[in-house]
Structure 1
Amino acid sequence: MNSPAFSALLPVILMIGLGICLAKLQWVRHAAVRDLSNLVFYVLTPALLFRTMMQVKLTDLDFAPIGVYFLAVALVFAVTMLVQGFTTLGAARALANTFSNTVMIGIPLMSLAYGEQGLVTLFTLISVHALVLLTSGTIIFELAAARQASRAGQADARGMGRTIAQAVKNSILHPIPLPIIAGVLYAQTGLSVPEVVDTPLQLMGQALGPMSLLLVGVTLAYGRVRGNLSAALRIAVVKTVVHPAVFLGCAWLLGLRGPAMAAMALAAALPVGANVFLFTQRYEVGEDEVTASIAVSTALALVTLPVVLTVLQRWA
């Protein structure tokens, strides 16, 4: 089982390493990082999300395994927020502890480990993964930011109802949830997208993965990795060890097993997804720490994923 995990993870590590080299050679300067982040966050990400979600028929999806997955996510997220405090930094760490790299690593690894059946389950997760985690994550970030601003005297104290309403509004009028919602609504119309529009969306979506990983590497090169190594390692351990363990515990308590549950356990064991880094850039909190955690968790996954796959062979 070592070969599938290594084969799927090695290209990701190489892309991050290439980004580091680009920064070290000064081919991408530090001043350009913010602009590249805006390009990824405001252009490439919405294109991929809209194009993916506009092909989803909600009635065709089996959400039973997904429910257990998000139960585990909710538990890990909530405990992280309780430990870290209800702040934007706490939200960044909680999102990093629960947001898996389901596309760049998940798809090739799932195909090698569980074949077409595993991919169907993973694609069901991917269809709602961003919708659930990024939308709820945005609400948490907005609520935490409003709370911090109020405590710092930068905003008038507002009632909880008004704060939540503003957070929901900000979470919808946002470059992540908005294209997801638009894509889902468009999919239900049954209409096709003209090729002249679909082709640019496809090309931008294909550019997202490489650009995100290169951007992680560039930011990692300019960040203070050594000063954040301890915090990044804590996130990496929670993401690649604790998260799948919590999922398996939930599935065991509910008496659920089988290939679909094994596929979801593997998804929970994936390293931190690059979208978390984009959130830290947007909210300007924990950027170096989370960026380092993406690299550290990806490297750690070279050890933990083969172990998880071996355990799942017996468990499923």
Structure 2
Amino acid sequence: MSALFDVILPVFLVVGFGYVICWRGMLSEVAVDGIMRFAQNFAVPVLLFQAIAKLDLGANFDPFLLLAFYIGAFLSFGVGMGAARLWLKRPLEDSIAIGFVCLFSNSLLLGIPITERAYGPDALEGNFTIIAIHSPLLYTFGITVMEFARARGQNLSVGRVALRALSGVLHTPLVIGILCGLVMNLLTQAGLVMPEGFWGAVKMLASAALPAALFALGGVLYRYRPEGEMRAIALCCVASLLLHPGVTFGLGKLFDLSVAEMRSSVVTASMAPGVNAYLFASLYGVAKRVAASAVLVATALSVLTIWFWLSVLP
């Protein structure tokens, strides 16, 4: 019970505060979009830059940690896309977008604060190991699959479709922050020493990232209230909240991950789909209502499922 009140509740209170503020009309949609744009395009990329720049790459990039998390993620995508196509009879592009909702857990805006509150700031190395390739890998995969689906009958070469997907990924602020952090990490290992004033400014901006993003997330979720499509929404919730962490937990046991790695991988896998899942659907104009509603419903349900996974983990 203490995990619910001490770990999960503070994070969701910030999200709920943003939700209530927008519900009562104290902030306009334009203002909420501005806060979210600041968080996602500037503060969060700086947070990722700081984390990756100071990450011990050799010590923390455990392939079994990544396999446990990403096998679960891609299996959730396959189940979500396959069920949407075969069971719900959705068009192929819709099915891919629904699969992406099942694939893209909110590893950063919810995963980081939940893990930090549960296990302390020193427990985040595994989280950042996962996050370092999360957006680049999943966006590249999702965009590539969608572009190939949309290119049917257009006689586009594989190289051209892949180049279009890579271009879209490299223009993502989160990916830019990760890549800049990786470059800084390598330069630091080569002997570059940045002044303390630089890191002080980075820390100030990074510290604003999660509170601003969580608050804005509440405002964004208020906008996307569920409307029908309950079978598709239920599919997304089951895949993201139960299947993904369940597979990750089982593989973590099989791969004999350390306690810290189990915590990071399973907690991250148990997060609800992120707003980026809706943005992906919106980018292609398919399954937007399902994606938006699934993000909202799964985020609310994740209060209980996260509590469950925290009780299971050592």
Q: TM-score range by the shorter chain?
A: 0.7 to 0.9
Structure 2 residue 195 is the aligned partner of structure 1 residue 194: yes
Report the equivalent of 1:45: 44
| 2:243 equivalent in structure 1 | 242
Does the C-alpha gap of structure 1 residues 158 and 69 become closer, same or farther in structure 2, counting only changes over 3 Å? same
Tell me how far 1:162 sits from its aligned partner. 1.7
Tell me if structure 2 keeps the 8 A contact 1:212–1:274: no
Residue 167 (structure 1) aligns with: 165
Instruction: Describe how 1:52-91 pairs up with structure 2 within 5 A.
Output: 52-63=51-62, 64-84=64-84, 89-91=94-96
**Distance in 2 of aligned mates of 1:192 and 1:234:** 49
State the 1:71 CA deviation: 2.2
CA deviations on 1:19-39 (whole Å, 9 max, x unpaired) are 222223323223444444433
- 1:193 match: secondary structure: coil
Displacement of 1:257 after TM fit?
5.8
Question: Normalising by structure 2, what TM-score?
Answer: 0.79
Partner of 1:208: 209
Given the two structures, how large is their TM-score scaled by the length of structure 1?
Answer: 0.78
Matches within 5 A, 1:13-24: 13-24=12-23
Structure 1 counterpart SS, 2:173 = coil
| 8 A Cα contact 1:16 1:295, kept in partner | no
Change (3 A) 1:82 1:230: closer
Which among 182, 185, 188 is matched to residue 184 of structure 1?
182
For residues 24-43 of structure 1, the aligned pairs below 5 Å read: 24-43=23-42
The residue that corresponds to 2:3 in the other structure is 4
Compared with structure 1, are the counterparts of its residues 102 and 3 closer, same or farther at alpha carbon in structure 2 (3 Å cutoff)?
farther
The separation in 2 between residues aligned to 1:275 and 1:71, in whole angstroms, is 20
AA of the residue aligned to 1:308: W
Q: Which shifted more, 262-271 or 282-291?
A: 282-291
Structure 1 287/210 Cα, relative in aligned 2: closer, same or farther at 3 Å? Answer: farther
Alpha-carbon distance, 1:55 to partner: 0.9
Report the RMSD for the aligned CA atoms in angstroms: 3.3
CA distance in 1, matches of 2:205, 2:284: 24
How many angstroms does 1:228 deviate by? 5.8
Render the CA deviation track for 1:152-183: whole Å, top value 9, x for unaligned: x9xx6411122112322332233121221121
Change (3 A) 1:82 1:251: same
Q: Tell me which residue corresponds to 2:99.
A: 94
Deviations 1:45-69 (A, max 9, x none): 2222212211122112251333322
Shift of the alpha carbon at 1:288?
5.2
C-alpha separation between the residues in 2 aligned to 1:8 and 1:229?
Answer: 30
- Residues 303 and 39 (structure 1 numbering): CA distance in 2 closer, same or farther, change over 3 Å? closer
Q: Is the 8 Å Cα contact of residues 91 and 137 (structure 1) preserved in structure 2? A: no
Distance 1:283 1:193 in 2: 41
SS at match of 1:176: helix
Which AA in structure 2 matches 1:307?
F
> Any conservation in 1 of the 2:143–2:165 contact (CA below 8 Å)?
yes
CA-CA distance at 1:3 after TM superposition: 1.4
Superposition deviation, residue 235 in structure 1: 2.2
Identical positions, percent: 22
- 1:285-296 → structure 2 map (5 Å cutoff): 289-296=290-297
Cα distance 1:290–1:11, how it changes in 2: closer, same or farther (>3 A)? farther
- Residue-pair matches, total: 304
Provide the C-alpha distance between the structure 2 equivalents of 1:260 and 1:134, rounded to a whole number of angstroms. Answer: 22
For structure 2, the residue ranges without an aligned partner over 5 or more in a row are: 86-90
Q: Which amino acid letter does the alignment assign opposite residue 179 of structure 1?
A: G
Specify the SS of the correspondent of 2:194: coil
CA distance in 1, matches of 2:110, 2:225: 25
How far is 1:216 from its partner?
2.2
Amino acid at match of 1:96: V
Contact in 2 for aligned 1:232/1:289 (Cα 8 Å): yes
Give the superposition deviation at 1:76. Answer: 1.9
Deviation string, structure 1 residues 251-305 (Cα, Å, up to 9, x no partner): 45x4636524542333322333455455556666555544443443333233223
Q: Give the aligned residue type for 2:236.
A: I
Q: Distance in 2 between matches of 1:72 and 1:139?
A: 17
Q: Is the 8 A contact 1:150 1:157 kept in 2?
A: yes
